[in-house]
Structure 1
Amino acid sequence: MADLAQITAKIQEAINTNGGFGKTIKLDLGEAGKIFIDGINNTVSNDDNAADATVSLKMEDFMALAEGRLDPMMAFMQGKLKVAGDMMLAQKLAPLLKGR
């Protein structure tokens, strides 16, 4: 399983390749930590900053999503994935997470 630093670096690579999206998103992975994606400045960190959207889920569910073993909609419906803030913005995460 990838650790938080590896995932953060992979998301930064994806932002560098795909560009930003003009807003901020925080991934709250519980005890594993947080990933703050600044789509305005195209940076990724492990800071716990306020964001336009916060996606909360366990690290194992995050890995299952990233590996394609868990469908995002099913995760949401089952309560494994929770979104606070801009739900449409949270949907922009999918391309950044593929193969992470």
Structure 2
Amino acid sequence: MSNVVNAAVDALNAKLGSFDDGTAKFVIEDEGAIMIDSDGARAADDAAESEVTLTASRETFEGMLNGDVNPTTAFMTGKLKVDGNMGLAMKLGSALA
């Protein structure tokens, strides 16, 4: 996995701990994927199953992690794509904010 994914895994685990609401996957374009579930965040293969998949560029993802980018705004402006359970995506977005 890339250094970006590894750094994101560390940041997500520090911010979220475990995520007991379900399984989510972040796909960081041109970098890799991260699974988030009750075990926390970990680098994952793109083929891993999830209830919701969120896809964004490296810049958008890093902005969401550091608080510069609001996840809802990113979605509304097309910078964040959501496929699957929208309610779960909203819970994850709230946890990141």
In structure 1, list runs of 5 or more residues that go unmatched: none
Mapped pair 1:44 → 2:67: no
CA displacement, residues 48-72 of structure 1 (integer Å, 9 cap, x when unaligned): 3110000010010111222222222
Q: CA distance change for structure 1 residues 8 and 75 in 2, over 3 Å: closer, same or farther? A: same
Runs (4 or more) in structure 1 with deviation over 6 Å come to none
Q: Distance in 1 between matches of 2:52 and 2:64?
A: 18
The two structures, once aligned, show a CA RMSD in angstroms of 2.0
Mapped pair 1:14 → 2:15: yes
Percent identical residues: 29
Q: Distance in 2 between matches of 1:97 and 1:28?
A: 16
Q: Normalized against structure 2, the TM-score is what?
A: 0.79
Q: Distance in 1 between matches of 2:53 and 2:42?
A: 14
| Alpha carbons 1:8, 1:45 under 8 Å: kept | yes
| Alpha carbons 2:56, 2:81 under 8 Å: kept | yes
In structure 2, list runs of 5 or more residues that go unmatched: none
| Alpha carbons 1:11, 1:96 under 8 Å: kept | no
| Alpha carbons 1:8, 1:35 under 8 Å: kept | yes
Q: CA distance change for structure 1 residues 20 and 74 in 2, over 3 Å: closer, same or farther? A: closer
2:4 is matched with 3
Q: CA distance change for structure 1 residues 50 and 91 in 2, over 3 Å: closer, same or farther? A: same
| Alpha carbons 2:12, 2:65 under 8 Å: kept | no
Write the letter of the residue equivalent to 1:51: S
Q: Normalized against structure 1, the TM-score is what?
A: 0.77
Aligned positions, number: 93
